[in-house]
Amino acid sequence: MFQDLHVVDFHAHFPIKGDVSTSGVGVRQYAAGTPAAEQAAYMRAQAERYRAAWRLAWDFPEPDPEAAELSLETLADRWLAELDRYGIDRIGFATGGGNDILARAVKRHPDRFIGFAHHNPFAPGAAEEMRRAVTELKLRGLKILAPALERRIDDRGLYSLWEAVEALGVPVLIHFGMLGAGGGISWNERDNPGALEQVARDFPTIQFVVPHFGIQYVKELLFLCWACENVNVDTSGSNQWTRWMPYSLTVDDLIRKFYETVGAERILFGSDSSWFPRGFSIRYLQDQIRACRFMNLPDDALRKIFGGNAVRLFRLGGT
């Protein structure tokens, strides 16, 4: 227990070295000496500067490069120790080196870890892989980075995947909005959550979750939630993107707005934690619980936001 709550972190990442999701944006390889390679190097340096400033702002330690070299089993045990240290019931890993690798990590502590499938949804056989991921590997969701896709989320080519997801009854976590640290993707034609509306209407029993309050598409996400009751929101990460909005906006404002309009049933706590030595990012949990308590949210709402909704979407039974 954390305070009087059974906390489930809906959205974290199992820290596998070189994983696209932990660095935010896929690292492309360019021939050395080409303008593209120089541009890529410049963007990496810019991202690193932003990351360094962000770490200092939150007083987070620097990532330990040796931690990334640890075995999967050691990393899994280290994550379990983090959960025990803070009294967190369970954690959902949205990514972790591919479905098979993440499934191995989850199997090590299956009562505490939950894994999402995270294969390319446009790859041939993606629907089949989804079925394998859930029925054989025991993963319990699907994670997609919409701005990194080849085509939009409402592309008909994904409908066979949605049909598989619908039959499996697992939630789908879809990142929209800017991706990565400074130098990442700020916009493209695939990054707006509004594009999910037709899919959410066509598959009303699939629970979709849009992380980070929709980032710069807060408005679009709120209206999407209004249109489709099967669209949820997660609170994960530092939400430092609020700094780039053209008006004052805080995580407290976001929680209040979504609570007032969408309701506690569709808000899920997430931390977006991944790397060591930081481990579980307790500050995000503390800040968000404080915000909810200062808003005088009923106890039942806190139980839903910080664990109950995740238990229901993952179909975990009573926690």
Q: Rule CB under 5 A: which residues touch Zn ion?
A: 272
Whole-number minimum distance, CB 294 to Zn ion, in Å? 26
User: What six digits make up the tokens of 169?
Assistant: 């009854």
Check: CB of residue 117 under 8 Å from CB of residue 143.
yes
- Rounded CA-CA distance 245/44 in Å is 23
- Rounded CA-CA distance 43/162 in Å is 35
Of the pair 258, 275, the CB lying nearest Zn ion is at 275
Whole-number minimum distance, CB 130 to Zn ion, in Å? 19
Closest to 88 in 3D by CA, of 315, 297, 284: 284
Check: CB of residue 155 under 8 Å from CB of residue 199.
no
Whole-number minimum distance, CB 263 to Zn ion, in Å? 23
Whole-number minimum distance, CB 125 to Zn ion, in Å? 25
Whole-number minimum distance, CB 11 to Zn ion, in Å? 6
User: Which residue's CB comes closest to Zn ion?
Assistant: 272
Tell me the three-class secondary structure of 144-209, residue by residue.
Answer: EEHHHCCCCCCCHHHHHHHHHHHHHCCCEEEECCCECCCCCECCCCCCCHHHHHHHHHHCCCCCEE
Of the pair 179, 297, the CB lying nearest Zn ion is at 179
Whole-number minimum distance, CB 23 to Zn ion, in Å? 11
User: What six digits make up the tokens of 172?
Assistant: 């789908």
Whole-number minimum distance, CB 318 to Zn ion, in Å? 27
- Rounded CA-CA distance 308/5 in Å is 9
- Count the helix, strand and coil residues of the chain and give each as a percent rounded to the nearest 5: 50, 10, 40
Of the pair 9, 272, the CB lying nearest Zn ion is at 272
User: E strands within the chain?
Assistant: 8-12, 90-93, 113-115, 142-145, 172-175, 208-210, 231-234, 267-268
| Dihedral sign, Cα of residue 319, residue 224, residue 263, residue 288 | positive
Of the pair 88, 127, the CB lying nearest Zn ion is at 88
Of the pair 8, 127, the CB lying nearest Zn ion is at 8
Of the pair 129, 272, the CB lying nearest Zn ion is at 272
Of the pair 93, 306, the CB lying nearest Zn ion is at 93
